[in-house]
A and B are shown apart, each in its own frame.
Chain A
């Protein structure tokens, strides 16, 4: 069964304290892995798409990486405005494809 697991569920960081969020997946034929950011009371906002192992994408303080079994979202020197829930989703291959979402990591960055 296709599955996406995110860890940790919640993460508290001091401003400037770098860390990583994990997204592990089990899918039959990965077509793509996606990272979204969701602020309270809002819809998810697209961040990155990764298609193959070894691929990396960066945006400001965020860097997403992909292996054959997991993806990491690295946050370098976070700021309070980076506080949000970060969602990972995968698109499996074969048949009717769709996005399978993880339950997210809730990040809080304190000044």
Chain B
């Protein structure tokens, strides 16, 4: 079984809809991250969480919100999806001791907003 799982793997939605992307991990890591990947722009950090009570904005948090339901679960929500949020979304985890080092990524969610 994969250590970091994301659901759904693919999603097509319409402008204005609310969307939730979910991430679960079995690595026992405290730190979890959400990134988006766009062609030509590389991975960009949306939100990160160092534990259940610690949530931080990344460089492109506008239009997104997150929830850390448990150590193992970190969800990303698009309250009102817009077409320029079409991208590949990755969840990642890392260990408290290694900090930002050695992040383990999930398989990604391909989101299309029409």
Is A42 interfacial (CB 8 A cutoff)? Answer: yes
- A101–B33 CA distance with the chains assembled, in angstroms: 14
B4, B40, B92, B101: the one contacting A32 at CB < 8 Å is B101
Chain B residues positioned under 8 Å from A99 (CB to CB): 43, 45, 100, 103
The answer to whether B43 touches A46, judged by C-beta atoms less than 8 angstroms apart, is: no
Chain A residues positioned under 8 Å from B99 (CB to CB): 97
User: Binding site of A, secondary structure by majority: helix, strand, loop or mixed?
Assistant: strand
How many chain-A residues does the 8 Å CB contact rule pick out?
A: 22
The answer to whether A32 touches B100, judged by C-beta atoms less than 8 angstroms apart, is: yes
- A87–B59 CA distance with the chains assembled, in angstroms: 19
The answer to whether A44 touches B105, judged by C-beta atoms less than 8 angstroms apart, is: yes
Contact residues, B40-75 vs A (CB, 8 A): 40-45, 48, 56, 58-59
Known contacts A31-B100, A87-B43; 12 additional CB pairs below 8 A are A43-B106, A43-B108, A44-B43, A45-B105, A46-B103, A87-B42, A91-B100, A98-B58, A99-B43, A101-B43, A102-B42, A103-B40
Interface residue ranges, A against B (CB under 8 Å) = 4, 31-32, 34, 41-46, 49, 87, 89, 91, 96-99, 101-104
